[in-house]
Amino acid sequence: MDLISLILCALFIVLIIPSIISTIYHQYILRQNLKNIPQVGRFPFGVAFELVKLTDYERILWFAQRMTDFKDGIYIYWLGIKPLISIFKPEILEIIFPSTVNIKKGFPYEMLEPWLGNGLLTSTGKQWNHDRKLIGPTFHFSILDQFAVIMSEKTEILTKCLEKEIAKNPGKAIDIYPFANNVALDIICETAMGVDVHAQESDTKYTISIHRTSKLIFNRFLQPWYWIDWFYNMMPPGKEHNSLLNTIHTFTKEVIHKKKIARQSGNDSPSKNEDDELDIGKRKRKAFLDLLLDQNEKAETPLTDDELRAQVDTFMFEGHDTTAVAITWTLFLLGNNLEHQEKLHEELEEVFKDSKTPASVKELSQLKYLDRVIKETLRLFPSVPIITRKLEEDVKIDNYTLPKDTTVLLEIALTHKNPQVWTDPNKFDPDRFLPENSKHRHPYAYVPFSAGPRNCIGQRFALLEEKTILTAILRKWRVKSAKTTETIQYGLSLIYRPCEEILIHFIPKK
């Protein structure tokens, strides 16, 4: 054996073998600590190969079956040597959600950090506490009234786009998801940044980048071999992802820069330059960014430009697709439950009568049945079906101890369909949310916007947007779904996305 071979063998013995022994030892300790909890998947690969070969919709069925298999509401499934502790019983969720210590998101939210940085969704600890206090006032009721005007304007564009599509193909069902997606993108861009991207009328480099980046991240979640950053960045999808992020970040930074210059000059509404791709600050309105800059100027520790960019990008991400799928699923379910839709039309006629003017915030607050319809939709199709926590300390649950540094999956979708909590859980029934039917329900049985200190800061914004859009559509049309809840397919990622077109027939109201 030559000298080089001897050196390599020595390095292997000194460096690699101790690492392998250490990994095996820590795996042994970890598995001993978790052995009392029911488990799926065996060493060394767990259920990784089983899940990879399933379709998106088959994964939904796989998780639903686990709910039947593990009625105590807790189990572990292994992805390789990584244990994911899945929880869906309200009484156990109540131990995790309110914690002010176990607030770290962990896997798979790390994959969002290249886009969102340390924004409110991905940050933790002192930074998260600082940012939450800073951002909280920007979602005050009085500010939502300002945003409502923008929502109404964009919704008016939506109804015109639908009218045009219906006229082009009379009697043909329309895929509602792209329309919901574009109106949500229009609303979030103007409310977040004060930018009119005209997403419903034409594509721009920025809107294309937002759509495509969301798709690439979704695909990455489903392909474990792409979870390794350096490997993903070498592959074509990773290179495309990074190029698109450069476009998104450049745009957001430019908007922040222009806003700051405008504020310094005393003009909060900079005029549009001829070479601007988008209409930036076309009206003197307060966008989320303006409000954030207001708060930032008062803060003891103001956010840097990169931190501001992360917060705005986070607002864009969280307030876009989540709302779009909620609107899509609401129309789909109403189109499958015509008797409930008829009750909703009766309520709309009672509140609006013959009026053709857009709904006001006060009128929307009177739509109690619509409120229950949205709640029931978010029970059946919570926009974010799973939330994760990486434990910062050991957690005791009954006879189980969940060790520090393990990842817990808070399975909202399974909780919302748990037959131990909900009678006939797959049935669409808005009256579940009548006060008399809700008063004895466990407070963590229904958590579509998360719960505890990390609950969704923009939930009032989201509900106002959904009500504005749904009301405008249903005041003009009755809807009928081309497919049923039993035949439609959808996929499990960070949000509940449809795996196929959500085809809806729009019938003009007489």
Tell me: the pLDDT tens digits for 121-149?
Answer: 888 888 888 888 888 777 776 778 888 99
DSSP-assigned beta bridge partners for residue 138: none
Q: Which of 403, 442, 495 is nearest to 35 (CA)?
A: 403
Average pLDDT, integer, range 475-499: 89
pLDDT bucket at 419, cuts 50 / 70 / 90: very high
CATH homologous superfamily of 55-201+302-508: Cytochrome P450 (1.10.630.10)
Instruction: Tell me how far CA of residue 344 lies from CA of 349, 352, 368, in angstroms.
Output: 9, 12, 9
**Cα–Cα distance between 44 and 19 in angstroms, integer?**
17
Cα separations in angstroms, 445 against 76, 411, 421, 436, 457: 21, 11, 7, 16, 20
> What pLDDT score does 298 carry?
81
- C-alpha distance across the termini of the chain, in Å: 91
For the cut 60, the answer to whether the pLDDT of residue 151 exceeds it is yes
Q: Quick one: tokens of 30?
A: 């970890």
Q: For the ranges 271-275, 389-393, 486-490, which has the lowest average pLDDT?
A: 271-275
- Per-residue pLDDT at 453 exceeds 80: yes
- Kindly indicate the confidence band of residue 484, based on its pLDDT and cuts at 50, 70 and 90: very high
For the entire predicted model, the pTM comes to 0.89
Report pLDDT for 270. Answer: 43
Q: What pLDDT score was predicted for residue 222?
A: 66
More confident residue, 458 or 176: 176
pLDDT of residue 267: 62
Say whether pLDDT at 268 is over 60.
no
* pLDDT tens column, 74-83: 998 887 778 8
User: 219 near 237, Cβ under 8 Å?
Assistant: yes
- Which string of b and e fits 379-408 if b means at least 16 CB within 10 Å? bbbbbbbbbbbbbbeebebeebebeeebbb
CA atoms within 13 A on the CB side of 502: 26
- With a pLDDT cut of 90, the percent of the chain lying above it is 43
| pLDDT of res. 1 | 54
Is the CB of residue 504 less than 8 Å from the CB of residue 176? yes
Place 275 in a pLDDT band, splitting at 50, 70 and 90.
Answer: very low
pLDDT tens sequence across 288-326: 888 888 888 887 788 888 888 998 888 888 888 899 999
Rounded-to-integer distance, Cα 445 and Cα 277, Å? 46
Structure tokens belonging to residue 52: 């990879």
Angle in degrees, CA 132, 134, 137, rounded to 5: 95
Average pLDDT value for residue range 227-254: 92
Amino acid at 271: S
Mean pLDDT of 21-48: 76
Question: Would you place residue 284 in the very low, low, confident or very high pLDDT band (cuts 50, 70, 90)?
Answer: low
Query: Is residue 36 pLDDT above 50, yes or no?
Result: yes
Q: Is 150 exposed, middle or buried (0-12, 13-18, 19+ CB in 10 A)?
A: buried
Q: Are 457 and 136 in contact (CB under 8 A)?
A: yes
Least confident of 84-88, 293-297, 339-343, 444-448: 293-297
| Coil, strand or helix at 174 | strand
Average pLDDT over residues 431-448: 94
Residue range 247-270: average pLDDT? 79
Burial of 197 by CB count in 10 Å (0-12 exposed, 13-18 middle, 19+ buried)? buried
Residue 332 CB coordination number (10 Å): 27
Q: What is the pLDDT of residue 280?
A: 46
Lowest-pLDDT range, 179-193, 299-313, 407-421?
299-313
Mean pLDDT for all residues in the chain: 86
**Distances, alpha carbon 336 to alpha carbons 180, 244, 339, 486, in Å:** 18, 38, 9, 11
452 contacts: CB under 8 Å, gap ≥ 6: 97, 98, 99
Give pLDDT, residue 296: 82
- Cα–Cα distance, 134 to 130 (Å, whole number): 6
Do residues 271 and 277 lie in contact, with contact meaning Cβ atoms separated by under 8 Å? no
Could you tell me how many helices (H) and strands (E) the chain has, helices first? 21, 14
Contact predicate 241/213, CB 8 Å: yes
**Model pLDDT for residues 346-374, shown as the tens digit of each residue:** 999 999 988 889 999 999 999 999 999 99
